[in-house]
Chain A
Amino acid sequence: LSHLRASVGTLYLSATHSIFVEDNPETRKETWVLHSMVNSVEMPSNSPAGSQLILRCKDFRVLQILIPQERDCLDIHASLVRLSRPGVFKYSELYCLSFNPNVNKEEREESWSFIDLMSDYRRMGVPNNLWVMTAANSEYRVCDTYPSELFVPKSAAPTIITGSSRFRSRGRFPVLSYFHQDTLAAVCRCSQPLSGFSGRCQEDEMMLQAVMRSNPGSDFIYVVDTRPKLNAMANRAAGKGYENEDHYTNIKLQFIGIENIHVMRSSQQKIIDVGEMRSPSMTDFLWGLENSGWLKHIKAILDAGVFIARAVADEGISVLVHCSDGWDRTTQACSVASLLLDPYYRTIRGLMVLIEKDWISFGHKFSHRYAHLDGDPKEVSPVMDQFLECVWQLSEQFPCAFEFNERFLLTIHTHVYSCQYGTFLGNSQRERKELRLPERTHSVWSQLWKDRVDFRNPLFKADLSQSQRVLRPNTTPYCFKMWKGLYSHIDKSMPPCQSPADFLSAMREESQQLEEEIAALTGRPIVWEKTEVLKRRTTHLQQRHLGPDPPTSYIQPITGHGQAVALKQANQMALNKEPNLYLPTECHSKLKDHDPDDCSTCSDRESGVADLRSRSSSGGDYAKDPDWE
């Protein structure tokens, strides 16, 4: 089971989870896998030891299960395939509808009102004399994917709004996403205009004028088309496209070049493969990273955010953002820009608000993008993954600027896919209302807020965000790293690395306790007790971090040698004519090719010191080429 760790146990299937319980009587470690987290179930050809199942999860974990009886295996496979993928339109089978976290009705209702978007708009300073709420979409008549409450320029009359929406793909007309109080400039969002090669629409042109006028003192706006220019031009042939600068006065058009969801989907698959490589050489790894193109895409999204933030904060110019439908790349660009502009969104609650606003309320297609239901595989794409990664990359660059830690981002990522809560279900506000989700499911936000102690970044400096309100990240390629926490599960079998953050969190908790104690005792410190507490906490951390066993990495080359020799001899290759293999990868790739039974390799690797010693000596024998003697 699982990466590198092999263990024997019993597999249980329930209506919602697969549960694997290890036989080891001391630990009886349990591994729970939610069916909705299962991305695919594979059944490779049988090996002598039994039939195999490979479970690929949506959080990129991979589990291998070896089942002795073939018939059992087939049964389990069939059940898992059925359970992990509810049919089209079958929301009723989703886990959130059966998930009951033991709270009463009031608490559930409270959980849904935990995030209040209107108060966030008020925090931004709208409505005001520039931006007002419009009732145009209160029944979702103008645009069925937008929320009912929308903010538009004060000078935009209802006729302009409806006219503009008719000229925009899926009726997604320009609305306010973020209002920057310091410069009075705004970030607005919409979808592409239905301009074709020569079409124009007076109301839409007036709408853009109105956006500009809502930023007193500016004489133009930026229109950011987040697509590569070529894609935008190709769209013109289908009667869509981009704003013609001759028709719209006072706009500056800017293309950013974020690729479409299909490119992103295949790119992510490649980086997942990189993360799954067993023991690649540095060269393989960096090539894999380059070929996946993933970091390039992340950079493009961040660049879009930086462009918008600069325009708003430094130039004081409003920006209108769109892509094709205005719910994927637009959402990414707007939310990254808001994060850079406003320190509030860098807090735990702030990030929830940001996601609720830019992603959930503005109609991001969660059900399609994250395959909650069995649907068109071409609609699936890691749009949200990329946003969360952008936030992570920023937090790596500004370690003190974010209140939350990596775990918070990873938890959100899990819940976007898990369907455990109703928050990320459905494709729009309207759909969620029709599904009566608030009555039937729970919201994830209040749960995350309850657990916020786990998500806190101990290095967060609130006062820093006052002096450094706008983040100005460097987007030079060397600032980007692979997000190990999400894509690399190789190391999970090894003792986890020490984390200074955990240490500091424990410490901060400690010092808070001390403070309370001091306050309570008023100057009668019990030093003995404190040092005691201190020791216990930190040693607990230590032990988690340092295993007495070396990780498998050094052993792999040696193991690899032993196996490679055997294989090569089996293949009757002349040893002395072959170049010697010293790099672990070369051996290992061989190993993989010739040895489909990965499970048995895993268990070998687990088998302990004595075995390893004999292996390393066999490795030594190989290193000594017999020909030399």
Chain B
Amino acid sequence: MAVHVQNKRKLFLDSYHQTNRAQRSREREAVAFIFSGEGGEVICSRRLDHRTIQIFDRQLMELSEHIKTANVEDAVLRQPLHPAARGTLCVTGHHLLFSDREESSPQHFLLLLRNIDAIEKRMSGSSGTITIKCKDLCVLQLDIPGMEQCLNIARSIETLSCLENVSEMYPFFYRPSDQSLKDQWGLSSTEKHYSQMTDLHDRWRVSSVNRDYSVCPTYPQAVIVPKDINDEMLVKAAKFRHGGRFPVLCYYHRKNGMVIMRSSQPLTGANRKRCREDELLLQAVIDGSDKGYIIDTRSSQQAQQARMTGGGFESKSCYSCWKRLHRQVERGKALQESLIKLVEACGNDSHNMDRWLSKLENSKWLSHVQTALSTAGLLAECVERDGHSVLVHCSEGTDSTLLISTVAQLIMDPCCRTLEGFLALLEREWVQAGHPFQKRCAHSAYSHARLQQESPVFLLLLDCVWQLLHQFPLALGFSEALLLRLATEAYASSYGTFLCNSDKERCVSRVKEKTLCLFQALLRPKERRCYANPLYERTELAIWPSVHPQSLQLWRGYFLRWTQQARHLEEAQEEIRNMVILWEKMALT
């Protein structure tokens, strides 16, 4: 095997050196461009160091079998808000690169193949047109001369845009010169999070019962649980919860010592099984206070039905101190279909007003935003105003559970509203807590592929956060640009943060050793400038969002991102930023 790879490598390098000089210099330029550019940002650099070439070689070699035509001259690229451009198209293992023919200042356009959701090809005569629909909702068009070339390119895109094998994905090859694999991966850990919350040390502990991921494959190695509950009890409680996700602490409210717990549904089944350890665990949570709330993000019917398939809910007789509230927060397929309908409605300019409003209504997306926000509001109200601890769960506890607990924390906790705090919150509640990003974000709204486990729960979260930002423009430390960036990165990224479905899988694929961390990258000073909110003023108060339909708006920045409309709003943001900078300068002099 090793010999085979060696040969292949030699063969490749030979052919690489044989290609004519001009071609090679263009490719080098392309490579340099790929490695210096980042997340679609266009930075052109001609410098090319030895290391990047090596990586490029490796990348090309492993995926080159899918590339029949690597270069197309005289292609035409049409993208929204830009005039059509003529130039050279280049397909690499992970990218589509287009360089236009402007001699004086060549413009490059780089697209991560992973970002492509669907393509449509249309042949006319000897040339073909490929329409590329991206996961970030951008729609591009490529005119390619030569039928065979066009088909080859299309085939390469189709294969390379949905690679199944994690270790073949781009984050494993992405090595920008200003970041290193030795940099810290991730912002925090359960232990660190625990050590920061000194108030809870006398009643809570860090358990490493899951150190080999055997108790719960989707939890991280360490979790925070009540001190009175030992690891053996946790193992038993985990057996009673869907996917082993036993109740763990996710938020401690400093003001009154109340907590938010999250878990999956209990496996009571049709014959109403009980689990003493699970009951004791929850009893230990509210030790000392009179009661707690359980927010089940399914309707009561859904919860009832879940018993038929072995799931269920906490019955009153067994958990006498817990009051259960049901709020149906949509997830799964219904949510994906909602997104598809909304994007379809936004993509059609020819609708009249009535049709647009009825399509918007019919998509139900805004209704989902409303329910998610009001359920999170309810949760925050239980903790902050009523002074009770809350357990939140749905069925698996990996989707709407995380959505609700995250938004509630943003509402209550000023620490989560800073740029760092928000990214740490996402890391804790989504990445470490095991939201299956790879399954949920495999496809976005354009894909014709049969839906499997796709669901835009994370996008719904970002939309909810945007609504908060819209209603409280001064209270959050980060800007809309960050939310847009995260929405893009969740679907296609150069970083390893959103790879895989759980901590365990990331461990197996050695993501933390072999890829770079997005959250770390976003906190570098250069990036921070774009993603910080210039108007931010920390407030210790809770920010209670209005969930009245009139207060909720379509997230135009995302859903209409590629229209002129969004440009004017960006200009205004830029203006605000400039004013604040000017003002700060003045305050300093």
Contact = CB atoms under 8 A, between A and B. Distances in A.
A281 B367 contact: yes
A478 B554 contact: yes
Interface in A143-185: none
Residue of A295, A296, A476, A497 with most partner-chain B CB within 10 A: A476
A628 B537 CA distance: 48
Interface in B16-54: none
A397 B568 contact: yes
A530 B584 CA distance: 11
Contact of B356 (A478, A495, A534): A478
B537 A624 contact: no
B564 A474 contact: yes
Contact of A514 (B328, B380, B386, B587): B587
Interface string A551-589: 101110110000000000000000000001010100000
A504 interface: yes
Given A621-B323, A628-B304, A542 B474 contact: yes
A103 interface: no
A629 B568 contact: no
A556 B377 CA distance: 12
B459 to A, nearest CB: 17
A548 B549 CA distance: 22
Contacts of B304: 628
A557 B373 CA distance: 13
B370 A282 contact: yes
Interface in A615-629: 616-617, 619-621, 623-625, 628-629
A177 to B, nearest CB: 27
Given A290-B357, A399-B572, A613-B386, A545 B552 contact: no
Given A498-B471, A498-B473, A554-B381, A285 B546 contact: no
Contacts, number: 212
Interface stretch (A218-226, A237-245, A480-488): A480-488
B300 A625 contact: yes
A515 interface: yes
Contacts of B357: 286, 289-290, 295, 477
Contact of B535 (A286, A500, A557, A609): A500
A281 B548 CA distance: 8
Chain B's interface size range is 35 or more
A459 B575 contact: yes
B539 A542 contact: yes
A438 interface: no
Contact of A510 (B351, B382, B554, B583): B583
B334 interface: no
A397 B575 CA distance: 15
Interface stretch (B83-91, B130-138, B358-366, B518-526): B358-366
A530 to B, nearest CB: 6
Chain A's interface size range is 35 or more
A295 B346 CA distance: 17
A539 B397 CA distance: 40
Nearest to B313: A628
Contacts of A500: 473-474, 535, 576
Nearest to A508: B579
B351 A477 contact: yes
A280 interface: yes
A444 to B, nearest CB: 29
Given A490-B548, A514-B587, A546-B475, A398 B568 contact: yes
Nearest to A298: B353
B161 interface: no
Interface in B546-577: 546-554, 556, 560, 563-565, 568-569, 571-572, 575-576
A135 interface: no
Contacts of B560: 478
B324 interface: yes
A54 B551 CA distance: 25
A281 B549 CA distance: 7
Contact of B300 (A461, A510, A623): A623
Contacts of A275: 550
B326 interface: yes
A270 interface: no
A557 B325 CA distance: 12
B565 A474 contact: yes
B56 interface: no
A518 B587 CA distance: 10
Residue of B361, B381, B544 with most partner-chain A CB within 10 A: B544
B316 A525 contact: no
Nearest to A479: B565
Interface of B: 293, 299-301, 304, 315-317, 323-328, 346, 349, 351-358, 360-361, 364, 366-367, 370, 374, 377-378, 380-382, 384-386, 471-475, 535, 537, 539, 541-544, 546-554, 556, 560, 563-565, 568-569, 571-572, 575-576, 579-580, 582-583, 586-587, 589
Top-3 shortest CB links A-B: A285-B549, A477-B356, A399-B572
Given A400-B568, A623-B323, A624-B324, 19 more contacts: A282-B364, A282-B367, A289-B357, A290-B353, A290-B358, A296-B353, A399-B575, A477-B351, A481-B553, A503-B473, A508-B583, A546-B475, A546-B539, A550-B384, A553-B546, A580-B326, A620-B293, A621-B323, A623-B326
19 contacts: A282-B361, A282-B366, A282-B549, A283-B367, A399-B568, A399-B571, A400-B571, A476-B565, A479-B565, A484-B550, A494-B546, A498-B474, A511-B582, A546-B539, A546-B541, A553-B548, A616-B382, A628-B304, A629-B316
